[in-house]
A = this chain, B = another copy of it.
Amino acid sequence: MLGVCYYPEHWPEEWWADDARRMKDLGLTYVRVGEFAWSRYEPEPGVYDFGWYDRALDTLGKAGLKIVACTPTATPPKWLIDRYPDILPVDPITGQVRGFGSRRHYDFSSETYLRESIRITTALAERYGKHDAIVGWQTDNEIACHDTALSASPNARRAFQDWCRAKYVDIATLNKAWGNIFWSMEYRSFEEIEVPFLAVTETSPAHRMAFRRFTSDRVALYHKAQVDILRAHSPGRFITHNFIPPTDTGIDNYTMCRDLDFASFDNYPLGRTDVWMAKRPASEFRPYMRTGHPDYCTFLFDQTRSLAGGKFWIMEQQPGPVNWAGHNPRPLPGMIRLWTLEAFAHGAEVVSYFRWRQAPFAQEQMHAGLLRPDRTPSEAWPEVEQALRELKTLDLAPVPGAKARIAILYDHEAQWLGETERQADSYSHPDIMVNWYMAARRLGLDVDFIPADGDPNGYDIVLVPGLAMPDAATVKRLGDSGALLLFAARSGAKARDVNLPEGLPPGELRQLLPIRVTSVGTARPDCPEGMVWRNHTYQAFTWFEALELVGEVDVQASLADGSPALVRKNNALYMATLPEQDFIADLLETLCAERGVPTVRLPDDLRLRRRGDLTFAFNYAAVAREAPAPANAHFVLGSRTVAPRDLAVWRVPS
């Protein structure tokens, strides 16, 4: 089903009915509203004005649209900020207050703002919680976007002290856990604790990790307050949130999703590709400039699918050029339709376009919509019509419950570790994760994600591109699952408080692998080392561990100096370095063969994905590609030869 994001407050009331009718006529099911309208709900302090919103909801509802209503907390109004300036966050790099004038100008640690966000959410939930047309709620908007999770405000400091007190109980415990003796950094009380910013040189990694955990917890606390209100006042409606990539926000989306019915994702393939590939040469970037990269957004789809049990929406789908990347190309013809069907192939339940009509004013006036500002259809319109027709011909299986045979373990703390303990400027856990994901996708594999504390059972292979500080139970669970486990270097690098584990890394992983990391060297990304596996030499990058074998273990690959690069014991494999993607693909192919997971070497820019008994092939290339469908495949959409930026869907008769 398809939906759209709509801002009635941006348009003359006379247009609303016509808009609603056209949405319905186009075939849209859902409409998301009310996201940034606080200054209209409450134009003066404590003076609510809901009349316009009543009428807007009624107009949409009467047209037969299902409404997703929002809490407007991403945009507190000016009068609220002027009244309570402590709502504003403080930039941890510059120490400057981040002011009013755009959005997200609030500090997650401000008790004032927590109270005010509860107040406005309650007002909306009480009034609209049982509105006929409202089928669900979206909380806030893109929480922690624009680097707003971390703040160095006095509020953050106070809340962090409380968090530390709750976690460590007495200050001596904290001092010991953080190693504060190291540079006389010992605190005498929780009131002495600072935020880990703006010090003379780097603060302790334990201090920074604690602050990252606190921040993530604090975001979840802030968010849960809204969820609780909506649950109480709006029975039978779903609650979701529209996430941006967790690699951008650095918060633990899994925790936030515990309170939600499902996760949503805001999908901007061109904007994200521009940002993600910003430093790549034109030769690498150019082919994807107007299509998006075939693996980057799907990586985020698959990750989002894992957040809340398999169900997810695309709450915002790019319908044309956007406005916020360094450069903002127009999608090539066909890509809106391709992206839409691709999201469904990866399990989306709903795709909702952002936005109904391009606004001719303010920050996003260069961001396309389904309609142009002059109310005529934009280029996206016929592609949406096509996607709707095609979706009807596909009998899409429900997603929750479906499972790939391969999973990637997603450990947000591995990202935090890479960011809080610099040891190699070029180390990036998200990059490793995407790299491995791409290797799997090149083999035609469907990929699931599981969180570090998730359930690995039922997978043939679990890839672990990083698992920073695992506890014994997590490792046991992984080992007991029976899956083949491939651990990247730096897995098990730390104990809980970012200390080196007892007996050296990989700490608890020694349950599975009798090895010891005795020394770690890192290298500039332009200085790789050779690595030999099955008589073939690959390149290894950035991170190089000296492994001591403290039990029986099979050395399967070695670095140029003969030291172990890949070791295996039973089902567990550990890599002492970070090899190039080709190696991951080659190794994974052998692991799949071992487990009888079928693979296929896909041509460049052709990607497969199954949903139910359907197999989708998406061709991002500029030339036609042959889909690797079996001879007896029954094509539901397209055919074996997939045109550029086109797709095919087939079913194999059983």
Contact = CB atoms under 8 A, between A and B. Distances in A.
A286 B527 contact: yes
A89 B198 CA distance: 11
Nearest to A290: B521
Nearest to A518: B372
A363 B181 contact: no
A103 B379 CA distance: 53
A39 interface: yes
A426 B422 CA distance: 29
Contact of A183 (B197, B321, B362, B520): B362
Contacts of A207: 101
A522 interface: yes
A183 B55 CA distance: 20
A364 B423 CA distance: 10
A548 to B, nearest CB: 9
A102 B203 CA distance: 5
A424 B328 contact: yes
Given A178-B361, A183-B362, A503-B374, A101 B521 contact: no
A291 to B, nearest CB: 13
Interface string A95-135: 11111111111000000000000000000000000000000
Contacts of A499: 360-361, 365
A201 B360 contact: no
Interface string A546-568: 10000000000000000000000
A100 B519 CA distance: 31
Interface string A177-190: 01111111111100
A204 B37 contact: no
Interface string A627-638: 000000000000
A183 B36 contact: yes
Interface string A262-305: 00000000000010000001100110011000000000000000
A84 interface: no
A9 B520 CA distance: 25
B200 A98 contact: yes
A198 B423 contact: no
A323 B424 CA distance: 9
Interface stretch (A72-80, A237-245, A447-455, A578-586): A72-80
A185 B526 CA distance: 46
B75 A361 contact: no
Contacts of A101: 185, 194, 196, 199-200, 203-204, 207
Given A188-B44, A518-B379, A523-B289, A421 B39 contact: no
Interface in A402-447: 421-426
A329 interface: yes
A62 interface: no
A213 interface: no
A320 interface: yes
B39 A184 contact: yes
A343 interface: no
B99 A194 contact: yes
A359 interface: yes
A56 interface: no
A547 to B, nearest CB: 13
Nearest to A76: B184
Q: How many monomers of this chain does the complex have?
A: 3
Contacts of A362: 178-183, 185, 204-206
Contacts of A624: none
A651 interface: no
Contact of A201 (B38, B146, B202, B374): B146
Contacts of A372: 504, 518
A192 B78 contact: yes
Contacts of A481: none
Contacts of A37: 181, 184
A84 to B, nearest CB: 14
Nearest to A322: B423
A382 interface: no
A183 B75 contact: yes
Contacts of A524: 274, 282, 285, 289, 326-327
A17 interface: no
A610 interface: no
Given A146-B200, A290-B521, A527-B282, A192 B363 contact: no
A330 interface: yes
A393 interface: no
Given A285-B527, A362-B206, A520-B366, A181 B39 contact: yes
A500 interface: yes
Interface string A352-381: 000000111111111010001110001100
A186 B10 CA distance: 12
A366 B493 CA distance: 10
A148 interface: yes
A526 B326 CA distance: 13
Interface in A513-552: 518-524, 526-527, 542, 544, 546
Nearest to A146: B201
16 contacts: A38-B184, A39-B184, A74-B183, A82-B192, A101-B200, A102-B203, A182-B364, A183-B363, A204-B363, A326-B524, A327-B425, A328-B423, A329-B522, A360-B501, A372-B518, A373-B500
Interface of A: 9-10, 36-40, 43-44, 72, 74-79, 82, 89, 94-105, 146, 148, 178-188, 192, 194, 196-207, 274, 281-282, 285-286, 289-290, 320-321, 323, 326-330, 358-366, 368, 372-374, 378-379, 421-426, 497-504, 518-524, 526-527, 542, 544, 546
